Structure 1
Amino acid sequence: MPAPINSGARLDRLPISRFHWNILGLIGAGAFLDAFDIYLANGALAAMVKTGFTDLRLGSFFISATFMGMMIGAGLSGYLGDRFGRRYSYQANLAIFGLASLAACFAPDIYWLILLRFIMGIGLGAELVVAAGTLCEFVPPATRGRWTALLALIINSGLLGATAVGYWVIPHLGWRYMFAIAGVGAMVAWFLRHRMPESPAGSKRLAGSKRRRPPSPRSSDRSRRASASSRRSRAWSVTRCRPRRSRRCSRAA
């Protein structure tokens, strides 16, 4: 059997190339939209209060729902990434906050918007955790600090992007279009990252969990029944052949 190839060690030895920049672009796009979605809440809430869609008391629940969901998403993202792989985790959280942002455009009242903002927060909190972990598994150890700093620069630029876009969009189009921009951008990034490979460490963990996975009870019962049936058939053939020393039994022996 051929020896397994350690893709992680080979990636660590490779020089920085276009592949690494593509990975940074795909991960950074989702992280930028994550920060954009977080920071758009300030301008959107001010517009909602001004138009009478909500008041300050319910607006505080709207802001709190974001960070409550982010806390839950950040706590679950590590487990899901180790259990199902980094690729599954970052695609799932991007779809969660992207679809919830699109649904927030059509929220009939503030109560629905608070619920959708909580769902958004689950995806928003998970995205930031998985983005840094996935990038570090692709880049060489000698340059991980610099690449993590680049990712942090992209994330923090989401504040500038949200305020700059909101400066024109909210007065002219309304606060709902801010959620539409974040949702459409997240879906575009999800489509672009659809073919992004699994990280080497994630592939290794998934392969190891498959090898260590115990057999299901149904398969164990089936194998026990098959072995018992085989033992009974062998015992029946021996008992049948003992009284008669026929030619067929002697050939079988």
Structure 2
Amino acid sequence: MHGWRRARLTERTKQTATGRTLRFEVPRWPGHLPGQHVDVRLTADDGYRAVRSYSLAAPADADVIELGVQAAFGGEVSPYLADDLPVGAEVEVEGPLGGWFVWTPQDPGPLLLIAGGSGIVPLMAMLRARLASESDDPCALLYSVRDPDEVWYAAELDAARDTDGTVGVRRLYTRTAPDGSARPPGRMTERDLPSLPSPAEARCYVCGPTGFVEHAGALLLAAGHAPDRIRTERFG
């Protein structure tokens, strides 16, 4: 039984114009698996409460958790967390939650991560865990965003691509591509899927808006990936 725990905001990092990484200190945090999430509860002075779910962006690290928050226009909770919650202030969290959309370094075989927009957040926890492991199984991240300004973890993704020969990171732009990009802007196609040994054995994780997830799932099936090895999580 998890129950609610006090969580103190210790750091806020800007990722995009509306995306933030928030780090909280949570005493006696029990740990979590890459891909899990937490519920965050805010309580107003008049007693009104609001609860929202947010993905954990990093593997377990003692009593520290990292969340990714995309501020939704007109939202009740996400804009406040993204920009207004003071560093040092407390909220309540419950978790970790979810046991299906998870990956650990103990899961063998090729790993394929496909993210759309802020759907990169739980997949970043998986990628960080993979980079910290001693695995030499191939790993690929395919990251689809509208334009370069919407990329989360840009510098870290570049470093991941450069420092481990078994890890591949590729960005796809759907509206505006940077100068010199070999791929014109557009929706992801089967040609964009990375080549991994034994596609039927690859573990595939897809996260993003519902339309993106459904499209990516259909591409994976058409490319021969096993349905029981494709796991998806939808935002919105």
Higher relative contact order (CA 8 A, sep 6+): 1
Select the structure of larger CA radius of gyration. Answer: 1
Specify which structure has the higher proportion of helix: 1
If the TM-score is normalised by the length of the shorter chain, which range does it land in? under 0.3
**What's the TM-score, normalizing by structure 2?**
0.24
